[in-house]
Structure 1
Amino acid sequence: MVGNASRAAIISDRRITGLSADVIAELVPELGLLWHQRHQARLTSRLRKRTVGAGAKHRLVFVDRLLATLVHLRHGVTHDVLACWFGVDRSTITRAIGEVRPLLAERGRTVSPDVRLRSLADVVDHLGASGSTGIIDGTETRLRRPAAGRKDRDKFISGKNKQNAVKSMVVTDGEGVAVVQPGTARELRRHHPRPPVRAGQAPGRGACDPRSSPTPTTSGLGAQTGGRVVTPPHRKFKKNAPDRYEEMHERQRKAHSSRRSRVEHGVAHLKNWRALAHHRGRREHMSDAVQAVAGLLSHQQTADLTSTRQK
Structure 2
Amino acid sequence: MHEIRLLLASRGFAVPDRPGLRLHTLADVFAYAKAEGVDLCIDGTEAQVRRPKAGRSGRKAFVSGKKEQSTAKTTTISDGSARLLWSGADRPGRMYDQTAMRPEGIAEQLRLHPQVKAKVDEGYRGPANEFPGQVQAPPRKPKDEAPLGEKYAWREARRRQSSARICVEHTIGEEKKWRPLQRYLGRRESYAETHAAIATLVSDRAARRPTRRRTSTELVLAHQTAC
TM-score category, normalised to shorter length: 0.7 to 0.9
Retained in 2: the 8 A contact 1:137–1:195? no
CA distance in 2, matches of 1:150, 1:224: 37
Distance 1:130 1:273, change over 3 A: same
What do you get for the CA RMSD once the two structures are aligned?
A: 2.6
* CA offsets 1:31-75 (integer angstroms, 9 cap, x no match): xxxxxxxxxxxxxxxxxxxxxxxxxxxxxxxxxxxxxxxxxxxxx
Q: How does 1:132-171 map to 2 (within 5 A)?
A: 132-171=38-77
Partner of 1:300: 205
CA distance in 1, matches of 2:24, 2:201: 13
Unaligned runs of 5+ in 1: 1-96, 197-201, 210-215, 307-311
Partner of 2:4: 100
Partner of 1:19: none
For 1:99, the aligned partner's letter is E
Query: Which structure has the bigger radius of gyration?
Result: 1
Partner of 1:289: 194
Distance 1:208 1:249, change over 3 A: farther
CA distance in 2, matches of 1:107, 1:273: 19
Q: How does 1:9-48 map to 2 (within 5 A)?
A: none
Equivalent residue for 1:109, pick from 4, 10, 13 = 13
Q: Secondary structure of the residue that 2:145 maps to in structure 1?
A: coil
For 1:139, the aligned partner's letter is T
* CA offsets 1:195-223 (integer angstroms, 9 cap, x no match): 57xxxxx9x931699xxxxxx9615x446
Residue 134 of structure 2 is aligned to residue 218 of structure 1: no
CA distance in 1, matches of 2:81, 2:63: 33
Partner of 2:27: 121
Equivalent residue for 1:261, pick from 144, 148, 166 = 166
Retained in 2: the 8 A contact 1:168–1:183? yes
Residue 103 of structure 2 is aligned to residue 180 of structure 1: no
Unaligned runs of 5+ in 2: 100-105, 114-122, 212-227
CA distance in 2, matches of 1:183, 1:172: 12
CA distance in 1, matches of 2:7, 2:190: 13
Retained in 1: the 8 A contact 2:46–2:71? yes
Number of equivalenced pairs: 194
Using the size of structure 1 for normalisation, the TM-score is 0.57
CA distance in 1, matches of 2:23, 2:134: 22
* CA offsets 1:269-300 (integer angstroms, 9 cap, x no match): 00001111111111111111111111111112
Percent identity over paired residues: 35
Distance 1:224 1:164, change over 3 A: closer
How far residue 247 of structure 1 moved from its aligned partner, in angstroms, is: 2.1
Distance 1:184 1:226, change over 3 A: closer
Retained in 2: the 8 A contact 1:279–1:286? yes
Partner of 1:3: none
CA distance in 2, matches of 1:286, 1:247: 43
Q: Secondary structure of the residue that 1:270 maps to in structure 2?
A: helix
* CA offsets 1:176-211 (integer angstroms, 9 cap, x no match): 1x211112311222xx43557xxxxx9x931699xx
Retained in 1: the 8 A contact 2:47–2:181? yes
Residue 148 of structure 2 is aligned to residue 249 of structure 1: no
Using the size of structure 2 for normalisation, the TM-score is 0.77
CA distance in 2, matches of 1:287, 1:224: 29
Q: Secondary structure of the residue that 1:280 maps to in structure 2?
A: coil
Partner of 1:193: 96
